[in-house]
Amino acid sequence: GESVGLHLPTLSVQEGDNSIINCAYSNSASDYFIWYKQESGKGPQFIIDIRSNMDKRQGQRVTVLLNKTVKHLSLQIAATQPGDSAVYFCAENAQRTGGGADGLTFGKGTHLIIQP
Amino acid sequence: SAVISQKPSRDICQRGTSLTIQCQVDSQVTMMFWYRQQPGQSLTLIATANQGSEATYESGFVIDKFPISRPNLTFSTLTVSNMSPEDSSIYLCSVTQGAHEQYFGPGTRLTVT
């Protein structure tokens, strides 16, 4: 199938290591952020979200950190597995010129490759 | 989370023709959205599909090119009109559940020749 990571930054990590994927967002008015995982040929899969009134949120093997001062978001994946190989996107819920509530603005994405 | 299906999953179309993509959700949802993902790129919001009223389009997208229907709370269609090779993309619908959580369908892979 077509590779959605063809033009995206790549992060390569060893299986079992921790990985950190970073994202810079642009709109200081954004109040909600989501990380998605997209495997080749599939739609984005919801991983974890965080509201702007939080700095950190943990899920199963994943942690999202939010630094509003520098408008930076990161996704930490612990003990990476081969199944974690995918493209990861951050998304923000920003005010839209069209007025559509909850429409998301996506970051560029990072292609995570897990090496055995 | 809601189960979202799209039809067709992929299609190859000739320039100048139109294609209608369907999005079906297994539960009633308030908010439905359509996104485009060009090859190797990120997702871009096309419009919000409003039930019972016209869709709300984002900058750079117009109703004549991407007419949208939303006849009920579980179904929406996106038409890509008068297609050109630049319209070759993956088209995705999504729905909001809970306060803001947004879930995506599998996408429709469109190739225009």
Report, as an integer, the average pLDDT of B84-94.
Answer: 97
Contact B49, B55 (CB under 8 A): yes
Which position has the token pair 């040929």? A41
Closest Cα partner for B35 from A105, A82, A16, A75? A105
Burial of A71 (0-12, 13-18, 19+ CB in 10 A): middle
**Cβ-based contacts of A109 with chain B (< 8 Å):** 42
Of B40, B48, B109, the CB nearest to A103: B48
Judge: B103–A104 Cβ closer than 8 Å, yes or no. Answer: no
Of B39, B57, B58, the CB nearest to A6: B39
Task: Give per-residue pLDDT as tens, A49-100.
Answer: 999 999 999 999 999 999 999 999 999 999 999 999 999 999 998 655 544 4
C-alpha distances out from residue A7 to A10, A11, A40, A110, Å:
9, 13, 14, 9
CATH class of B4-112: mainly beta
Judge: B59–A98 Cβ closer than 8 Å, yes or no. Answer: yes
Query: Which domains, and CATH codes, for chain A?
Result: 10-115 (2.60.40.10)
Q: Is B11 helix (H, G, I), strand (E, B) or coil?
A: strand
Q: For A44, which residue in chain B has the nearest alpha carbon? A: B104
C-alpha distances out from residue B70 to A84, B31, B34, B67, B85, Å:
35, 10, 11, 10, 27
H or E segment and range at residue B71: strand B68-72
> Domain ranges in chain B?
4-112
Q: For residue B51, name the pLDDT band (cuts at 50, 70, 90).
A: confident
User: Would an 8 Å CB–CB cutoff place A39 in contact with chain B?
Assistant: no
Position with higher pLDDT, B31 vs A16: A16
Report how far residue B103's alpha carbon sits from residue B3's, in angstroms, rounded to the nearest whole number.
Answer: 9
Query: What's the pLDDT at A6?
Result: 46
* B1: pLDDT strictly greater than 90: no
Q: For residue A27, name the pLDDT band (cuts at 50, 70, 90).
A: confident
Of B4, B59, B101, the CB nearest to A97: B59
Query: What's the pLDDT at A7?
Result: 60
What is the share, in percent, of chain A residues with pLDDT greater than 70?
86
Which one-letter amino acid corresponds to residue B112? Answer: V
Q: Is A28 helix (H, G, I), strand (E, B) or coil?
A: coil
* DSSP 8-class letter at B99: T
Query: What's the pLDDT at A95?
Result: 53
